[in-house]
Amino acid sequence: MFVSNILRTKGTDIHSTVPDATADDVVQDLVKYNVGSLIVLEQDEDGESQMVGIITERDMLRAQAAHRKPLEQLLVREVMSTEVLTTSLEDSLQDAMRLMTNHRIRHLPVMNHGQLLGIISIGDIIKAHHDELEMENHYMKSYIQGEGADVGTIL
């Protein structure tokens, strides 16, 4: 299974924010959309939106532990991670899993030729993996039952 399969199932919705939004805005969005991260987008000189970072629940807690400031006084640009690890459509599920496990992260933006296409989370991967196992199980069961039926006919 590939990253493209996951994106096809979950869709390409991206929740985003901007560098000058406050941490308070971020908390509101994370809770409203029930997601664990927001992509930080900024317009370049040509007016094109570019990904400049990612901000996660963990970043929010870490910032609060470090700064001890009210959320309204913290800006996304102070809190976000700017070194964003990404995956691409043709990467295997296993590649994405390895990236997440090795770096202890839970979200990977999906890129295709430099363009942001979507985002996959650890929850999406576990769900896909579970669905795949269930499917395999279903096929094995019907294969075995089918064979049993054949044997029954022969006997």
Partner 1 sequence: MTLYGILNDKGFHVHSIGPGATLDEAVEELVRFNIGSLVVCEPTAKGTDVGVIGIITERDILRAQAAHKTPLEKCTVASAMTSDLISAEPGTEIEVAMRLMTQHRVRHLPIMEDEQLLGIISIGDVMNAQLQELTLSTWYMSRELSNRTGLWT
Interacting residues toward partner 1 by CB under 8 A = 27-28, 30-32, 34, 36, 57-58, 60-62, 64-65, 70-71, 94, 97-98, 100-101, 104, 106, 122-123, 125-127, 129-130, 133-134
Nearer to partner 1, 98 or 141 (CB): 98
Asked whether 7 and 110 are in contact (CB, 8 A), the reply is yes
Nearer to partner 1, 135 or 149 (CB): 135
Q: How many residues can be counted in the chain?
A: 155
Q: How far apart are CA 107 and CA 94, in angstroms?
A: 14
Q: How far is the CB of 115 from partner 1 (least distance, A)?
A: 27
Intra-chain end-to-end CA distance of the chain, in Å: 40
Q: How far is the CB of 49 from partner 1 (least distance, A)?
A: 25
Q: How far apart are CA 83 and CA 53, in angstroms?
A: 7
Question: E-assigned strands of the chain?
Answer: 16-17, 37-43, 49-56, 87-88, 107-112, 115-121
By CB atoms closer than 10 A (0-12, 13-18, 19+), residue 20 is: exposed
Nearer to partner 1, 32 or 113 (CB): 32
Q: How far is the CB of 48 from partner 1 (least distance, A)?
A: 31
Q: How far is the CB of 65 from partner 1 (least distance, A)?
A: 4
Nearer to partner 1, 31 or 149 (CB): 31
Nearer to partner 1, 8 or 62 (CB): 62
Q: How far apart are CA 149 and CA 142, in angstroms?
A: 10
Q: How far is the CB of 34 from partner 1 (least distance, A)?
A: 7
